[in-house]
Chain A
């Protein structure tokens, strides 16, 4: 079966750095997405990785290792507005997006 694992919840302090991990086992791989979803709102796109390595975009970076079936989202200089759920999703061999359950990130002052 297809499986995407990410921690259910994480807590971090404002101004700090947090890393949210995602491991996947899917039938094929055509890329991995990270989305941010605030409570009661729809997801918004953060990043897309299809090749191994680190992609940096401002305070957010995303890393991929295809051989390990592993990705992480790194958030630097945390702000209160970063409190949200972060969803990992993998594009499988049929170009279907397989969604993780999401990681709820709580930022404390």
Chain B
């Protein structure tokens, strides 16, 4: 159990376009979902935390107008990178938490974004 999927697994887009990444919890309801970014040979960097039905909480330095997060249901959260630039090229990973007494995060397989 506790499977999280991400789609797409990789995407190449042109500079100035927008890209949407989906994160789904397949066999559980996720009260909270997290979006991370990871540059090569660096650790995970939390971008934002989203709870179903409410606005996402962004970490300092993350532009909320550039990285739009929608957590429309207990099984789906989306991250849209708007007006992408080459420096946005990275590995984007989502994770989900069941809630209650469990704080373990279940990670999706990640999405590799390349902006040309």
Please give me the residue from chain A that is nearest to B105 by CB atom. Answer: A97
A61 at the interface (CB under 8 A from B): no
CB under 8 Å from chain B, chain A span 54-109: 87, 91, 95-97, 99-102
* CB contact under 8 A between A41 and B109, given known A30-B103, A31-B103, A91-B103: yes
Contact B108–A42 (Cβ < 8 Å): yes
Size of the A side of the interface (Cβ < 8 Å), in residues, is: 20
A73 to B34, CA, bound (A): 25
Residue A24 CB within 8 A of the other chain: no
Q: Is the CB of A48 within 8 A of B107?
A: no
Task: Give per-residue flags for A36-56: 1 if the beta carbon is below 8 A from chain B beta carbons, else 0.
Answer: 000011111100100000000
Contacts of B110 in A (CB 8 A): 40-42
Judge whether B54 is part of the interface by a CB distance below 8 angstroms: no
Do B107 and A44 touch (CB < 8 A)?
yes
Contact indicator A45/B104 (Cβ below 8 Å)? yes
Q: Could you tell me if B109 and A42 are in contact, using CB atoms closer than 8 angstroms?
A: yes
Q: Is B84 an interface residue (CB 8 A)?
A: no
B43's contact among A40, A96, A99, by CB below 8 Å, is which? A99
A98 nearest CB neighbor, chain B only: B46
A48 touches B44 (CB 8 A): no
B44 touches A45 (CB 8 A): no
- Name A42's contact: one of B42, B103, B104, B107 (CB within 8 Å): B107
Smallest Cβ distance from A91 to chain B, in angstroms? 5
Q: Complex: how many Å from CA A87 to CA B93?
A: 15
List A contacts of B107 (CB < 8 A). Answer: 35, 42-44
Given A43-B107, A97-B105, 6 other A-B residues pairs in contact with their CB atoms under 8 A:
A31-B103, A41-B110, A43-B44, A44-B107, A48-B104, A100-B43
Q: List 5 A-B contacts (CB under 8 A).
A: A42-B93, A42-B108, A91-B103, A95-B103, A97-B103
**Shortest 6 CB-CB contacts between residues of A and residues of B:** A42-B107, A101-B43, A42-B110, A42-B93, A99-B44, A102-B43
